[in-house]
């Protein structure tokens, strides 16, 4: 599996509040009071329900969370707080609460880089970060510069939809083709015995059974191998 070297989401030294079970209900109605916001209903395999998010960038963030083996679950817009900066009072709702498989939950804010860089928004993000730090909650900002790294994000988009059509039991055929010693097989080699394979590879990636070359685009020489377990 890929390692999120330059935009690691989960870490081993999280200093956040005790994890809470994911809620099906966001802290506020998604998109309420925000003209022009495109609502995306993201079908989460990891949470086994639809996660409503605001825009394609947040949906792409969901993809990274879905495929990250260090993430157990996540929920959108988990809480709203009333904050104050030099311009006055404002409400702030983080985009996600993320629960790693180990460690404590943390908050994740997703914004386009251009918006996050605007002085008043950058100031409010910092006010929010300091507020949540006082609550012993880590607050992480991610932009398209962290999320939409190519060819990784395009590959994950291609694999996710196909993976959702393959059951966990469907992995058996793929695993039978991959060397047990963890040495890689090319997509061409896999396709020779399993023509319809990307869904199985995607399911294997979601379930943590296989790893792939996410730093390279999908092609005949793309490598797939068993993940060490």
Q: What is the CATH number of domain 39-147?
A: 3.40.1350.10
Question: Can you tell me the mean pLDDT for 141-154?
Answer: 98
Instruction: Provide the pLDDT confidence category of residue 33 given band limits of 50, 70 and 90.
Output: very low
Reported as a single tens digit per residue, the pLDDT across 66-125 is 999 999 999 999 999 999 999 899 999 999 999 999 899 999 999 999 999 999 999 999
Domain ranges (residues) in the chain: 39-147, 167-226
Q: What is the pLDDT of residue 5?
A: 33
Reported as a single tens digit per residue, the pLDDT across 200-211 is 999 999 999 999
Gap between the Cα atoms of 9 and 62, Å rounded: 12
Q: What is the pLDDT of residue 29?
A: 63
Q: What's the mean per-residue pLDDT of the chain?
A: 88
Q: What is the pLDDT of residue 35?
A: 59
Q: What is the pLDDT of residue 10?
A: 40
Q: What is the pLDDT of residue 1?
A: 38
Please write down the HEC assignment for all residues of the chain: CCCCCCCCCCCCCCCCCCCCCCCCCCCCCCCCCCCCCCEEEEEECCCCEEEEEECHHHHHHHHHHHHCCCEEEEEECCCCEEEEECCEEEEECCCEEEEECCCCCEEEEECCHHHHCCHHHHHHHHHHHHHHHHCCCCEEEECHHHHCCCCHHHHHHHHHHHHCCCCHHHHHHHHHHCCCCCCCEEHHHHHHHCCCCHHHHHHHHHHCCEEECCCCCCCCCCEEEECCC
Q: What is the pLDDT of residue 170?
A: 85
Answer yes or no: are the C-beta atoms of 207 and 171 closer than 8 Å: yes
For the whole model, what pTM was predicted? Answer: 0.84
């Amino acid at each position: 599996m890929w390692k999120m070297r330059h935009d690691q989401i989960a870490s081993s030294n999280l200093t956040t509040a005790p994890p809470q079970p994911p809620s099906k209900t966001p802290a506020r109605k998604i998109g309420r009071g925000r003209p022009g916001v495109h609502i995306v209903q993201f079908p989460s395999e990891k949470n086994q329900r639809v996660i409503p998010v605001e825009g394609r960038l947040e949906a792409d963030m969901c993809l990274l969370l879905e495929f990250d083996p260090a993430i157990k679950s996540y929920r959108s817009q988990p809480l709203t707080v009333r904050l104050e900066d030099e311009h006055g009072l404002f409400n702030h709702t983080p985009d996600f609460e993320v629960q790693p498989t180990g460690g404590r939950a943390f908050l994740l804010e997703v914004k386009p880089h251009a918006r996050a860089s605007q002085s008043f928004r950058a100031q409010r993000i910092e006010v929010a970060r300091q507020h949540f730090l006082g609550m012993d909650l880590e607050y992480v900002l991610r932009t398209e510069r962290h999320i939409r790294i190519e060819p990784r994000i395009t590959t994950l988009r291609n694999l996710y939809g196909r993976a959702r059509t393959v059951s966990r039991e469907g992995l058996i055929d793929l695993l039978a083709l991959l060397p047990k010693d963890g040495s890689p097989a090319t997509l061409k080699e896999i396709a020779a015995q399993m023509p319809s394979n990307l869904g199985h590879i995607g399911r294997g990636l979601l379930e943590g059974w296989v790893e792939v070359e996410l730093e390279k685009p999908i092609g005949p020489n793309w490598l797939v191998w068993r993940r060490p377990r």
